[in-house]
């Protein structure tokens, strides 16, 4: 599997799966979530609402993932996952790892070959960028998957640089 780093907007990626850094409600929010629903159109929210009344009445727990249509996005599917809110009292790294792993598992179920990830939990959920990057890169490299390209789409230069350093470190190690 190849890891590609891009500085840009995840909603513009022409990939099989775009991963959404959602919240447990699945009913939208800011950041990546807001951008995906705004650009992808109402079909995505309609499917999320349907999931809430059928498979996920209590919402999507942190560390889990679920797929919907990608609406008007160039991608074929959106895989919604929920990262943990960063905490100084408790190490929630296993939940962050699970968000990446479960997203790849759902992507494999869909037969996806290309998957774009944002820096899950590194925005509103407050995860320090360098550690978010390290966890993201090491988890994806450790996860058995049929996905051929994992593209991390990072919004700013600081996040891009953190992922770049984490990727170089993993290649040295
Ligand atoms: N493309 C790529 N990256 C982006 C984009 C974009 N269009 N927009 C923001 N980022 P966040 P979280 C970056 O807050 O921390 C939402 O309200 C952003 O700069 O989207 O997991 C949800 O509904 C940061 O580096 O996700 C939840 O309530 C990274 O994406 C909550 O935020 C993740 O930031 C989830 O918080």
Quote ipTM for the complex.
0.99
Which among 33, 91, 131, 142 is annotated as catalytic? 33
User: Tens digits of per-residue pLDDT, 65-104?
Assistant: 999 999 999 999 999 999 999 999 999 999 999 999 999 9
2-172: which CATH topology? 3.40.220
E strand or H helix that includes residue 170: helix 157-172
Q: How many CB atoms lie within 10 A of CB 156?
A: 11
Best of 37, 61, 123, 136 for a ligand 1 pocket test (most atoms within 8 Å of beta carbon): 123
Query: Which pLDDT score, from 0 to 100, does residue 173 have?
Result: 66
Are the C-beta atoms of residues 163 and 152 closer than 8 Å to each other?
A: yes
Residue 97 CA to ligand 1 center (angstroms) comes to: 17
- Residue 172's pLDDT is 81
């Amino acid at each position: 599997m190849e890891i590609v780093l891009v500085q840009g907007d995840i909603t513009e990626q022409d990939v099989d799966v775009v991963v959404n850094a959602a919240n447990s409600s699945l009913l939208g929010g800011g950041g990546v979530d807001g951008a995906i629903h705004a650009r992808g159109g109402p079909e995505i929210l309609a499917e999320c609402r349907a999931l809430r009344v059928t498979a996920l009445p209590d919402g999507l727990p942190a560390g889990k993932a679920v797929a919907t249509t990608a609406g008007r996005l160039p991608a074929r599917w959106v895989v919604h996952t929920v990262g943990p809110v960063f905490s100084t009292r408790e190490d929630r790294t296993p939940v962050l790892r699970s968000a990446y792993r479960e997203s790849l598992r759902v992507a494999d179920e869909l037969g996806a070959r290309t998957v774009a990830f944002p820096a899950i939990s590194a925005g509103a959920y407050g995860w320090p960028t360098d550690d978010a990057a390290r966890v993201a890169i090491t988890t994806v490299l450790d996860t058995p998957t049929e996905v051929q390209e994992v593209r991390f789409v990072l919004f700013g230069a600081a996040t891009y640089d953190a992922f770049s350093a984490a990727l170089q470190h993993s290649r040295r190690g």
